[in-house]
Amino acid sequence: MLKVIAEDFIHPEAVEIVLPLYRELVACTRSEPLCIAYDLFVDQKDPGHFIFIEQWPDRAALDTHCATEHFRRLVPLIDAHQRSPGTFLLMDPAAL
């Protein structure tokens, strides 16, 4: 199981522009057969700081997601409004 945190930093004045793009990205991604979870959150202290928390069966499923038409079309449209580069973090469950 692969957990992902992907963070975007959007110019505050562009938040209303990116929201419908995020809406379409979330809807399309959740319809991917390998998607386990794909949820989008906003930093309570920064309305332009968006955080995806994702779950995929494995890295291959994430790579498939990143190659989809909706990802390749929508992510550049969102990134055009970034104020700084996005980050991502790939994680495994802790071996407790």
**Residues of this chain, 35-94, that bind a second copy according to CB under 8 A:** 39-45, 50-51, 53, 89-94
- Applying CB under 8 A, among 17, 19, 36, 75 the residue interacting with a second copy is 19
Determine the interface stretch with a second copy among 34-42, 60-68, 71-79 (rule: CB under 8 A). Answer: 34-42
Residue 53 near residue 39 (C-beta atoms within 8 A):
yes
Q: Is 6 in the site for a second copy (CB under 8 A)?
A: no
Determine the interface stretch with a second copy among 21-29, 62-70, 76-84 (rule: CB under 8 A). Answer: 21-29
Residue 7 near residue 87 (C-beta atoms within 8 A):
yes
The residue type at 38: Y
Q: What single-letter DSSP state applies at residue 67?
A: T
31/45 Cα distance (integer angstroms):
31
Which residues in this chain contact a second copy in the complex, by CB under 8 A? 3, 5, 19, 22-23, 26, 39-45, 50-51, 53, 89-96
